[in-house]
Amino acid sequence: MKQKIVLTPVEKALRRRRWCILVFLLAAFSLSGIYLYHKFHPNKPVDYSDIREHFKYGSIGTEPVNGLPYWIWKVLPVLFADKLPEQGYASFGLLYEEGADRPVGFSKRKVIFDRVWFNCSVCHTSTVRETPESKRELVLGMPANRLDLESLFMFLIDCAKDQRFTSTRIMAELDKMGAELNFVEKLLYRFVIVGQVRDAFLRLGNQIDFIARQASSWGPGRVDTFNPYKVIQFNFQMNKLPDKEIMGITDLPSIWLQKPREGMHLHWDGNNTSVEERNKSAALGAGVTPTTIDLPRIKRIEDWLLEFEPPEYPFEINDAMAARGADIYRKNCSECHGKSGRDFSGEYVGTVEPIENIGTDPYRLNSFTYEFVSNQNTLYSGYPYRFTHFRKTDGYANMPLDGIWLRAPYLHNGSVPTLRDLLNKPEERPLMFYRGYDVYDKANVGFVSDVAVENGHEYFKYDTTLPSNFNTGHMYGIDLSHDEKEALVEYLKTF
């Protein structure tokens, strides 16, 4: 028969104490686990209920793989201020709103630690001023014609090559800045993150070294859309590609009124007819991967852009002259560009015009090759939204003209500064002009393009004699009389 163990009062007290300690440790462990889960949640973006704020600062999934650690992002323009043409990231045309901790177009997400990187608005938001003294007005959906992406990337790469890019120097600078890092994050930054970021920048420099072969710098408001894809996504040997494929530099587009564009030939060369697929392609270009793309948050933006309209022209319009221009537009332009800025109907709207007919610079068309298409249609393999719509075309697409007053400079490569210039013969269009200025040219419809420097800021000199910068072609309207051209430009302000 089993003998019952009788505990003394002291032993009972000790047992109760051990149980209390065990319960306390289990509770502490659970609470610590909950704290650590919320502190280092593997996928915790900053969210915004307002769709406009979400567009400006919300995540689309670029941060987990390609995002910059938040405090590295903050420290670089401080530690390497000598590499900046002016002060901070605004040097590259990034736009800051009062009170914001990062520029428009940069989202924030915690993936072990806070990271930031691009979202849609970095390429599709800019500013307008009536005069040099006027307050800048932020306009969502318009081309980011002040953004100098090439210079931003080259700054990051140049920082990584500098001997100051060490854990010791960066951590010391972060301490001076009062960086809000806990003990674990400080260890990660010191022993892991700084080295990884430096290596990533150096690797990027090797990947995009083909840019040195391009005849022109990108300049503000322009990007080489697909050549970086070739090497980053598909490991193309860029040094073996001919020069005619290397220079695919184009203007950043506007993104208003996407619903009526479904089924049209999208991108400058009309290489895709699916708005949704085009959006996922753009997301890849911004930095998402097939495993990190944030479909619900991208869907919010997609749904909003379906009906999102450009702002109306805010300056005075000569109604009588615009009425005359409406008739001229209907006879000369509407079949290719739509009945109006809201009615996109027309026999050739959204179709591709062969290069031999339109005669504009061919380099963007040349850069999108059959070989690249075959690779691009493998993207998102294994997912329901695998790419299937990309095609090689033989020209450039006829675009609707909604918000055309905000889409200067014109043509696919941004080689013509104003609409009035576009109605002239190519040899009469400006040979050289300056890009990146946001003061509006009300007379010619575009942005003022003869200002080289303002308050120490040097604007980009655009040379139309260089390959990928040619301002030739689009001869439609050049035979109109002076008065007819003036009336047509006045009418286009209403779009």
Domain-by-domain residue ranges, the chain?
A: 44-492
Whole-number Cα distances in Å, 227 to 137, 154, 180, 233, 253: 33, 16, 38, 10, 17
Q: Which pLDDT band holds residue 4 (cuts at 50, 70, 90)?
A: low
Q: How far apart are CA 400 and CA 397, in angstroms?
A: 10
Q: What is the mean pLDDT of residues 471-479?
A: 96
- What pLDDT, in 10s, does the model give residues 381-433? 999 999 999 999 999 999 999 999 999 999 999 999 999 999 999 999 999 99
Orientation of helix 482-492 relative to helix 319-332, angle to 10°: 100
Lowest mean pLDDT among 22-26, 438-442, 449-453, 475-479: 22-26
Alpha helices in 273-414 (DSSP H): 275-286, 295-307, 319-332, 334-337, 355-358, 363-367, 370-376
Residues 212, 205 contacting (CB under 8 angstroms): no
Each residue's pLDDT tens digit, 346-395: 999 999 999 999 999 999 999 999 999 999 999 999 999 999 999 999 99
Q: Across all residues in the chain, what is the average pLDDT?
A: 93
How many Å apart are CA 477 and CA 429, to the nearest integer? 13
CB distance 129 to 135 below 8 Å: yes
Kindly report, residue by residue over 60-119, the tens digit of the pLDDT: 999 999 999 999 999 999 999 999 999 999 999 999 999 999 999 999 999 999 999 999
pLDDT band at 27 (very low <50, low <70, confident <90, very high): very low
DSSP 8-class letter at 109? E
CA distance linking residue 402 with residue 495, whole number of Å = 5
pLDDT single digits (tens) 299-323: 999 999 999 999 999 999 999 999 9
pLDDT confidence bin for 16, thresholds 50/70/90: confident
pTM for the model: 0.90
Mean pLDDT is lowest, of 12-26, 130-144, 234-248, 414-428, for 12-26
Neighbours of 378 (CB within 10 A): 11
Whether 93 and 150 have beta carbons less than 8 Å apart is answered as no
Indicate whether 178 pLDDT > 60.
Answer: yes
CB of 216 closer than 8 Å to CB of 469: yes
* Reported confidence tier of residue 31, pLDDT bands at 50, 70, 90: very low
Give the Cα separation of 109 and 59 in Å (integer): 7
Burial-class residue 4 by CB neighbours within 10 Å (0-12, 13-18, 19+): exposed
Largest CA distance in the chain: 119
* Other Cβ atoms closer than 10 A to 292: 20
How buried is 61 (Cβ within 10 angstroms: 0-12 exposed, 13-18 middle, 19+ buried)?
Answer: buried
